[in-house]
Amino acid sequence: MDDKKNSFLSHLEELRKRLIICAIAVGIGFLSSYGFSKQIFAFLINPLVTVLPKDDKLIFTALPEAFYTYIKVSLITGVLLASPVIFYQIWKFIAPGLYKNEKKYIIPFVIAASFFFGLGASFAYFVVFPYAFSFFISFSSGSIKALPSIKEYLTFSTKLLLAFGAVFELPVITFFLSRMGILNAAILRKQRKYAILIIFLASAILTPPDVFTQILMSGPMILLYELSIFIAHIFGKKPPVTE
């Protein structure tokens, strides 16, 4: 009983250590990006500004709203900058439960996870945002005018950026699980219909309540799932050959 308690406490202590390191990394990223928060936010709102009617601008309705928005932008940027450190700490936390030959994947995991997270966020910004915002703004008419606030926009865009970044981790997770022999292509094929159902449910939860944005997320997710099946088939751990 005491051994289990000590083991549990040691895991909590290890988790606390990893979380502190992640918090420090995010803090450094936050301080590094705060001086550029206005430029970062201007870049972030560009997909919406591009499709807004001429002379229309984003607004803020509370006096401190702009200040808090720049703080949040800096914090989000800090998380993105710290993502390699965060992925590294995640791996280090689970590493004690891995075999020696599995621990060697730490550097490829950190690089691949950071790359695909950035790829997912970039896909949201450069592909999803322009179509989504054009769709939403198209409902403006002579008697209806869009007046998006910077607070609402930041919440909306951040949710999509993080959601797409997380979704694009699927091939990375599949690759390493298949290399470890935990997952294989046969299992993924067998569970395809359930996976598609979960994908549409996840899209409904992670995106705003409109069918258009949900399709923009669920479509790439299904493609990523099919890509994961291919990855598991090519790179998965092969069963030993018996004579």
Can you give the pLDDT of all 243 residues of the chain as single tens digits? 555 666 677 778 888 899 999 999 999 999 999 989 999 999 999 998 888 877 778 888 888 888 999 999 999 899 889 988 998 888 888 777 667 776 777 788 888 888 888 888 898 899 888 888 888 888 777 777 778 888 888 888 888 888 888 888 888 888 888 877 777 888 888 888 888 888 888 877 776 666 777 787 888 888 888 888 888 888 776 655 444
The count of domains in the chain is: 1
Is there a domain that residue 119 lies in? Answer: yes
Tell me which residue of 135, 138, 87, 91 sits closest to 113, measured CA to CA.
Answer: 87
Q: Are 192 and 142 in contact (CB under 8 A)?
A: no
Global pTM value: 0.79
**Structure confidence at residue 28 (pLDDT):** 95
Q: What are the Cα distances from residue 217, in Å, to 65, 166, 169, 175?
A: 29, 12, 14, 21
Asked whether residue 62 is assigned to any structural domain, the reply reads yes
Residue 205 lies in a domain: no
Q: List the one residue out of 243, 40, 25 whose CA is nearest residue 154.
A: 40
The 8-class DSSP code of residue 239 comes to P
Confidence (pLDDT) at 172 = 86
For residue 176, tell me if it sits in a domain.
no
pLDDT at 70: 92
Q: Using CA atoms, how far apart are residues 226 and 232, in angstroms rounded to an integer?
A: 10
CB 37 within 8 A of CB 74: yes
In angstroms, what CA-CA distances link 38 with 25, 66, 67, 205?
Answer: 21, 10, 10, 30
CA distance 88 to 110: 6
What is the residue range of 81's domain? Answer: 2-168
Is residue 132 one of the residues assigned to a domain? yes
Helix (H, G, I), strand (E, B) or coil at 216: helix
Residue 197 placed within a domain: no
State the residue for tokens 């409109």: 210
- Tokens (6 digits) for 212: 């258009």
Task: Say if 134 falls within a structural domain.
Answer: yes
pLDDT of residue 238: 61
Which pLDDT does position 241 carry in this prediction?
47
Q: Is residue 24 part of a domain?
A: yes
pLDDT at 4: 60
- Please check whether residue 83 is in contact with residue 117, taking contact to mean a CB–CB distance below 8 angstroms: yes
List, in sequence order, every residue forming a beta bridge with 202; answer none if it has no partner: none
Q: What is the pLDDT of residue 187?
A: 85
Q: Which long-range contacts (CB under 8 A, 24 or more apart) does 214-220 make?
A: 216/127, 216/128, 216/131, 216/132, 217/128, 217/160, 217/163, 217/164, 217/167, 220/123, 220/164, 220/167, 220/168
